Amino acid sequence: MSLLRNVGTIGGLTAVSRVFGFARDILLARALGAGLAADAFQLAFTLPNTFRRLFAEGAFSVAFVPLYSRALHGRDGEPGSEEAAAQFAEDVLSVFMWVLLAFSGLCMIFMPALVWLLAREYATVPGKFELSVLLSRVTFPYLFFISLVAMLSGLLNARSRFGPGAVAPVLLNIFLISGILLGDYLRGDSGDDVVVVQILAAAVSLSGLAQLVYLAWETRRAGVQLKVTLPKFTPEVKKLGLLILPATFGAGIYQISQLVDTFFATSLPQGSLTLLKLADRLNQMPLGIVGIALGTAILPMLSRHIHTGDNAEAQRLQGNAFEIATLLTLPAAAALAVCAPAFCKAFFVGGKFTAADGALMAQIVVALVAGLPAYVIVKVLNPGFFAREDTRTPVWTALGSLIFNVGLNLYVVERFGIVGLAAATAASASLNCLLLYAILHKRGWFHFTPKLVSRVARQLIATAAMTAVLWYLMPLMADRYGGNIIEKVWSLTALVAAGGAVFFGVAFAVGALDKDLLGQLRRRRPARTKADDEILEVE
């Protein structure tokens, strides 16, 4: 089945990137701890990285892919062509590149103001504000490179080449891991964290350039050669611009909430921002692997079914994506919530990262993963609007959720600190998810079927059984999570193995696994006709 195959490709390659990112954050925590330099780097990395997520995983893809796909494959009986698609891509590139250069240049010039807006409290700590501005200016060119990467990745996705876009982020983490190791070596016994974060900031921008070179090469391999011409605001380019602006907000509620969280976190005690970002790495593992994979894979396929008027197939496709999302994220969220103290203690505590830092980080993880299913399901629901070129509706739901998030933060941050802030993010994501589904259902675009409701209910039964087992096992090995490497490995392996065995065992017993859906991953296909090949090429 195309959806599962594409999700498997994207999710598998994204998993590799997340593992590298996880290793990066472990090294970062141990090298810098949760102090002044770590906070400054996290802020500097947040600015371009937030735009990376908005463009690479959100607005640009959801706006560009349907229009490029329509130019390539046609719509409503009108034929598409390689020439029309190439012309559209070149027009977009020629405008987009100059807009990015201007935006990046202005942001770098006015970086002190941007940093002040996000982290004005840093000015009260000697040297922290100035270091944050310097590092932010060094990292910001990453935005220019990675936005062009997003365009090329979207182009390849529309051609069902999902691998290169999923591989590219691995380069970011390889560069950052190398930067941490080099910085730690150069500072020697001085303990000067500033040396490390300066090298790290440079590594961020260099990784963006490396990703752009790689995607340009992959685009040429796909037989697409784009030229940069004088900017031309054609009707299709204008339409793309009108779609991108609301899509940036509508598809990026999680990322925009991250900026809101950053603002509130910088007003809390030193190290709060670093702990929040490190905790979010654990949350991002399943979110990145499952959510991004589903959202990326479903959009071109959903666009095709909607453009050809096959609403029943669109409903089936989105229902399957929803089922896959809950099958993977419900147990992931429950396992992370129960096992957060073990993971934080085993992986992060050490070097400059203290046991107290690890304990607080675990509480943040528990609060964040309460919204994990919602984070992923939003990635499944949003394409239902974007494939119909409706980017306005997600704007309004996102706006309502963001206002709710800000209001909740004003109440909980003062009372519950960084943990309350994380919980508010989870609550706002859940609200956004509910609003999106309600509107899709009202318009008749997507609805829960009895089969889907039954399947999710059975998944919840399996998740509850797994949670009970993990809750029982966690205290039995409490002394092992902070032991030597062998003790850490076997204790965490025992938790993961026991949880996985119980979940899938119970899921199989109660019928939470759709054998027909999953069986198509390994089912041999019959001989295909030329028409079948054309369908598979689109999907």
Q: For 212-268, write each residue's pLDDT tens digit.
A: 999 989 888 888 888 777 777 888 788 777 777 666 665 555 567 778 889 999 999
| Residue whose token pair is 């752009």 | 212
pLDDT for 328: 83
Distance, in Å, from the CA atom of 425 to the CA atom of 401, rounded to the nearest integer, reads 9
Please give the Cα distance from 501 to 196 (Å, whole number): 42
Structure tokens at 162: 């999902």
In this prediction, residue 539 has a pLDDT band, given cuts at 50, 70 and 90, of very low
* Of 118-122, 136-140, 386-390, minimum mean pLDDT range: 386-390
Rounded to the nearest 10 degrees, the angle between the axes of helix 36-56 and helix 253-265 is: 160
Sign, CA dihedral 294-299-300-305, equals positive
**Angle at CA of residue 190, ends 188 and 193, nearest 5°:** 90
**pLDDT bucket at 534, cuts 50 / 70 / 90:** very low
Residue % of the chain over a pLDDT of 70:
82
User: Which tokens go with 290?
Assistant: 């499952």
pLDDT at residue 151 in the model: 82
Q: What is the pLDDT of residue 75?
A: 60
Name, in order, each residue with C-beta under 8 angstroms of 450's C-beta and a sequence gap of 6 or more. Answer: none
Banded model confidence at residue 466, pLDDT cuts 50, 70, 90:
very high
Tokens matching residue 312: 């029943």
Q: How many domains does the chain have?
A: 1
**What whole-number distance in Å separates Cα of residue 211 and Cα of residue 150?**
10
Nearby residues of 529 by Cβ (< 8 Å), 6 or more positions away: none
Question: C-alpha distances in angstroms, 205 versus 175, 197, 201, 397?
Answer: 9, 13, 7, 33
Tens of pLDDT along 505-533?
999 999 887 766 555 444 433 333 333 33
Which tokens is 127 given?
Answer: 């040297």
Give how far Cα 524 sits from Cα of 1, 175, 257, 429, 534, Å.
Answer: 10, 40, 44, 39, 18
Candidates 145, 365, 204; CA nearest to 277 is 365
Single-letter amino acid code for the residue at 386: F
Q: CB within 8 A of 420, min separation 6: which ones?
A: 367, 409, 412, 413
Residue 157: band (very low, low, confident or very high) from pLDDT cuts 50, 70, 90: confident
Neighbours of 452 (CB within 10 A): 17
CA–CA separation, 205 vs 106, rounded Å?
Answer: 17
Least confident of 154-168, 196-210, 264-278: 154-168
CB 166 within 8 A of CB 9: yes
Question: Could you give the C-alpha distances from 8 to 222, 292, 438, 525, 534, in angstroms and in order?
Answer: 21, 11, 29, 17, 21
* Number of continuous H segments (helices) and E segments (strands) in the chain: 21, 2
**Rounded-to-integer distance, Cα 408 and Cα 392, Å:** 25
Is the pLDDT assigned to residue 49 strictly greater than 90?
no
The pTM for the full model equals 0.78
**Structural domain that includes position 382:** 2-538
Residue 39 near residue 363 (C-beta atoms within 8 A): no
Task: Give the dihedral sign, CA 513/527/221/71.
Answer: negative
pLDDT at 449 > cutoff 60: yes
Q: What does the pLDDT average to over 403-419?
A: 93
